[in-house]
Amino acid sequence: MIIRQAKIEDVPLIVEMLANDELGKLREDFQEPLPEKYYSAFENIDNDPNQELVVILNEHDQVIGTLQLSFIQYLTYQGGIRAQIEAVRVHQNHRNKGVGKQLFQWAIKRSKERGAHVVQLTTDKKRPDALKFYKTLGFVDSHEGMKLHII
């Protein structure tokens, strides 16, 4: 399998994967044609050197998974860099086949290359299988996350 930077033509497939679960279908607006706001967001991500949106391809060059990796510079940890993994999805036909593990191995390696001292992620408490999977990769639920939706 190949992992590469996402291209604009991948956006509909990525959004379709993001919308294809119980929580995602409540958050996303997947339709054809895809709303312009997704393409604008892609352009912002693609132009930001601290954002990497990637896809993983199968042996037929089909997009079967995605994740976004963000690099956050901050003053703590002596000016450290924190890598944040977001929007991880594997196409429903390719789950439980090691695709997610490959994406995470890539993300961790890439985080080391960029000088990050920690890789973090959040997961909704309504996704117990995801939490279990992340723990198998060595992630520890060491902090309590909180959100305030302002829109």
CATH of the domain at 106: 3.40.630.30
Question: For 43-77, what is each residue's pLDDT tens digit?
Answer: 999 999 999 999 999 999 999 999 999 999 999 99
- 18, 24 contact by CB (below 8 A): yes
Report how many domains make up the chain. Answer: 1
Specify if 80 maps to a domain.
yes
Please indicate, yes or no, if residue 30 is contained in any of the structural domains: yes
Q: Is the pLDDT of residue 18 over 90?
A: yes
Query: Rounded to whole angstroms, how far apart are CA atoms 117 and 7?
Result: 28
Instruction: State the DSSP code for 93.
Output: G
Whole domain around residue 132: which residue ranges? 2-136
80: pLDDT confidence band, cut at 50, 70 and 90? Answer: very high
Residue 147 domain-assigned?
no
Q: How many CB atoms lie within 10 A of CB 18?
A: 19
pLDDT of residue 84: 97
Domain-embedded: residue 125:
yes
46 found inside a domain: yes
Give domain status of residue 7, yes or no: yes
| pLDDT score for 3 | 97
